[in-house]
Structure 1
Amino acid sequence: MLQDPNSNASFSYVIYHPQSGQCIQVSNDKKDMFMGNCSNSGRWTHDNDSTPIRMSSTGLCLKTSGEGLMPSLSTDCFGPQSSWRAISNTKLHLATITQDGKSLCLQVENSNSSKIVTNSCICTDGAPTCLEDTQSQWFELVETNTL
């Protein structure tokens, strides 16, 4: 349960991956991100599109490190690599912009891995000719008020 009508806790978000039914978790040392049970996942804040996604417990921001690399948690919350927005017609791609203007999306590394990376966003322009499977890049911020 992610929302409890009887809870007095403030709202935050989990970063949910619909294909797997899991959420992004962060290791205790804050160096690794991986998919795991949503009840144990990190809680995040996000004001609106093109703003940082911050870990509620630390205030550190989710930041892209480059294509094919795991995102990191950083104190640098004001650069374009720390500004995230939902893109595509479905709004199921969370993307940031690299220093050279390229959109990178959160992605599960592969079907045999729970590791999170950022890669070039695929099929986000709504073109009906795109035949690639985009589900590995489907992530959404889901509001929660449970602890």
Structure 2
Amino acid sequence: MSAADSETGTVTKTDIDVNRVMELIPHRYPFLMVDRIEEIELDVRAVGIKNVSINENFFQGHFPTRPVFPGVLIIESMAQTAGCLVVATLGEEAEGKLVYFMTIDDARFRKPVVPGDQLKIHVEKARNRGPVWKFTGAAKVDGVLVAEATFSAMIVDK
């Protein structure tokens, strides 16, 4: 589903399912950290969803008696959501290309994320120059900020 904003001419798409996410980015289980893109405003912002399940393999060791979703994977979910935004913005010729981290700055983890939580990943483009894109990201559970970071990435051919 998509809608055009008559004032700006931007297109907002909603409900990009996991199958379409996997067309946009090359990540697969067990490293696919985005289940759905709930909102996307091309070249501007996106909101991804990650449903955190106890069945994920890293919970066997992080931590067995009190499972916590690793902070580095929250950052990865931000990057994957941003990757979907980049590829959707660039169009079909960019589908499946790799997006490599270049920097991660000002990462803050505010509250643990545990199995059963639904992580809403908000990313917003700060700028891009050629293949390099910079973003701000915020992850929330039930509207409460659990993590945030600024990061940049480069899109490359496989």
TM-score, length basis structure 1: 0.29
TM-score, length basis structure 2: 0.28
Looking at secondary structure, tell me which structure has more strand per residue: 2
